[in-house]
Amino acid sequence: MGDENYIIGCFASTNMGDEQGVLFRTYIWGDEGIGNVLKTLRYENYGNDMKRILFQFYVNPIPYEQQNLKAIEPYRAREKAIGIPIIVTNENFFSQSEEGRYSFLKQSIFQKIDLLAEVVKKKKLDTKMELLKADLQKLLS
């Protein structure tokens, strides 16, 4: 299966040389990484209007950057894609146990998927959000 067929991707923005950024990446792309699990969902299964949902994890963003992040970015029709920022901080992630960290990631993803469902409905996109949510639930539980 080629990487170009997955509907959910992950991106991490960290500060250079940031040990927390390195640690965070293992939760996304390490052996138990959530990003690897999400890549098993193929966009063809969910309709034609959404080819990529990109979870953008901002690790300890500077206040200016954090203030300018939207809950969810505008849908890009030409790319059939949408970006979804998730802010990762010491309080919500790094001060947690390993179980708490995975719980935060899963909870954040489900909250953002609910926001995305509203966008899909408002824009009348053919994306099967209930199926996507159900598949995510199976994968992440």
Give the pLDDT confidence score for residue 48 in this predicted structure.
Answer: 94
As a whole number of angstroms, the distance between CA 51 and CA 43 comes to 5
Q: Which two tokens stand for residue 51?
A: 């080819």
Q: Give 134's contacts (C-beta < 8 A, 6+ positions apart).
A: none
User: Is pLDDT at 57 greater than 90 in this prediction?
Assistant: yes
Split at pLDDT 50, 70, 90, the class of 61 is very high
Mean pLDDT across the chain: 94
Q: What is the pTM of this model?
A: 0.94
For the cut 70, the answer to whether the pLDDT of residue 2 exceeds it is no
Provide the pLDDT for residue 4: 79
Res. 37: pLDDT tops 90: yes
In this prediction, residues 33-58 reach a mean pLDDT of 96
Q: Per-residue pLDDT for 51 more than 50?
A: yes
Q: Would the pLDDT of 1 be above 60?
A: no
The position carrying tokens 């950057």 is 65
**Which of 15, 59, 62, 53 minimizes the C-alpha distance to 35?**
53
> DSSP labels for 89-140?
-IIIIITS-HHHHHHHHHHHHHHHHHHHHHHHHHHT----HHHHHHHHHHHH
Backbone angles phi, psi at 14, to 5 degrees: -130, 165
User: Is a pLDDT exceeding 80 seen at residue 105?
Assistant: yes
